[in-house]
Structure 1
């Protein structure tokens, strides 16, 4: 309970720096953590995903508007590159 109060306090002081909890509860998908899947809009928003390099995961989405970039940053994804056709590249570093 104290952690939630503390997070609410910091959220009030710095709303752009403290990330809210993901809006969509999601299960992990092979190769993607549950918090990353939730930030991408949930399992039903994923068409496909594939590691395309040591530092990048290519994800095809049904609706790119459902992506929560703040939640992706909180999940440890330092970079997101959105392309045409619902394709999103997650820059993961060497942990993809």
Structure 2
């Protein structure tokens, strides 16, 4: 009961950060740039992708051995956190929409 109440409270405060049901995309619906996908071992190595925050995408890899960490650390690449069991979190830049001029 408390967990449901707490979840509803945080959803009310941050509706864009606490989704009702997390959306998991397949490799065909990539959320990542081509350079990042290639450094992660290619599209066939991605099991799933899930946006867990505005600036973070959780990626599940089929084979963690195909991960090219030096390529992920290259200049211009977003920050990456390599976790255990083939899970990688890719930090992406926040795209701020331009304000409309009127």
* TM-score exceeds 0.5: yes
**Partner of residue 64, structure 1:** 64
Equivalents in 2 of 1:34, 1:51: separation in Å?
A: 17
Q: How high is the TM-score relative to the length of structure 2?
A: 0.55
Say which structure, 1 or 2, has more relative contact order (CA 8 Å, 6+ apart): 1
| 1:33 matches 2:33 | yes
Long gaps (5+) in structure 1: 1-27
Deviation at 1:75, TM superposition (A): 7.0
Bigger share in helix: 1
**Partner of residue 78, structure 2:** 78
Indicate if the aligned counterparts of 1:57 and 1:89 stay in contact, CA closer than 8 A.
Answer: yes
Equivalents in 2 of 1:70, 1:36: separation in Å?
A: 11
Indicate if the aligned counterparts of 1:81 and 1:90 stay in contact, CA closer than 8 A.
Answer: yes
Long gaps (5+) in structure 2: 1-27, 96-102
Output the aligned Cα RMSD: 2.2
Name which one, 1 or 2, has greater alpha-carbon Rg: 2
Q: How high is the TM-score relative to the length of structure 1?
A: 0.58
| 1:47 matches 2:47 | yes
Distance 1:77 1:57, change over 3 A: farther
**Partner of residue 89, structure 2:** 89
Q: What is the SS of the residue equivalent to 2:37?
A: helix
